[in-house]
Structure 1
Amino acid sequence: MKAFVIRTALSAFALWVAVSLVPGLAFDYGDAESDWAKLAIVLAIAVIFGLVNSVVKPFVQLLALPLYILTLGLIHILINAFMLEITAWITDHLTHWGLEVGSFFWAAILGAVVISIVSWLTAMLIPDDSRR
């Protein structure tokens, strides 16, 4: 449970950094006015993003295996952008709050790059229990 909470918090932080840096990415807070409600919405979006990455992404990666070989792994950026788009679609259609992605080419791809870099940097700060 502790690892889930830490991963969710780090995903929320990475999403927040991406929304802060990339034009075209935004959080839609719906009717939330307090900072705690907005934080809860960002954490919920991070949970949905994590579920999309754990359920949908492996199938997409398997189907894109020839493209991984052909592009020497650069297709991974497009797949991460696609995961952002799926998260935005889910939150837009199932809730009154969520993640907004302006365009796939600029907002989603740059957001995916920023999220990957921030996730990589934060993962370096957290000790890995499997190494012990």
Structure 2
Amino acid sequence: MKVIIKILIVAAALWASTKLVDGIVLTADTTSKQIGTLLAVALIFGLVNAVIKPIIKFVGCAFYVLTFGLFALVVNAALLLLTGWASEQLDLPFHVDGFMAAFWGALLIGVISWILELILRVND
């Protein structure tokens, strides 16, 4: 149940990023297609973060230490770019246009997800 709630939270954060960040675009034409796309992209984003992020943290731990953790912002942006690319390969109408859009989108997704997880007490 916790996994489903986290996917819904990330989908909501992705939706907010499509509305607030220029360069993150959801082009589905109906509301049901938009919801389905956001849920699919949230699942892809979760898989990318679960599989690739630990590897990057292990390999780049020196960069995390040297930048006092700010390197995580770059990693999160790259993972969002990778998610956008994977979504396009799966013919999902979701696109991330460039690193800066991914940077601000990842930052927004992280903050919104954190707030929603606090409100919904997901980690209790």
TM-score under structure 2 normalisation?
0.93
Name the counterpart of 1:79. 75
Gaps of 5+ in 1: none
The letter of the residue matching 2:8 is: A
**Number of aligned pairs?**
124
Gaps of 5+ in 2: none
Note if contact 1:67-1:75 (Cα within 8 Å) is conserved in structure 2.
yes
Name the counterpart of 1:26. 25
Deviation at 1:128, TM superposition (A): 4.5
Question: Is 2:42 the partner of 1:41?
Answer: no
Structure 1 consecutive aligned stretches of length 4 or more whose deviation exceeds 4 Å: none
The letter of the residue matching 1:14 is: A
Note if contact 1:84-1:108 (Cα within 8 Å) is conserved in structure 2.
yes
SS at match of 1:56: helix
Deviation at 1:64, TM superposition (A): 1.2
Q: C-alpha separation between the residues in 2 aligned to 1:20 and 1:41?
A: 15
Note if contact 1:88-1:98 (Cα within 8 Å) is conserved in structure 2.
no
Q: C-alpha separation between the residues in 2 aligned to 1:127 and 1:25?
A: 28
Q: Greater CA radius of gyration, 1 or 2?
A: 1
Instruction: Determine which of 47, 53, 75 is the counterpart of 1:51.
Output: 47
Deviation at 1:41, TM superposition (A): 1.1
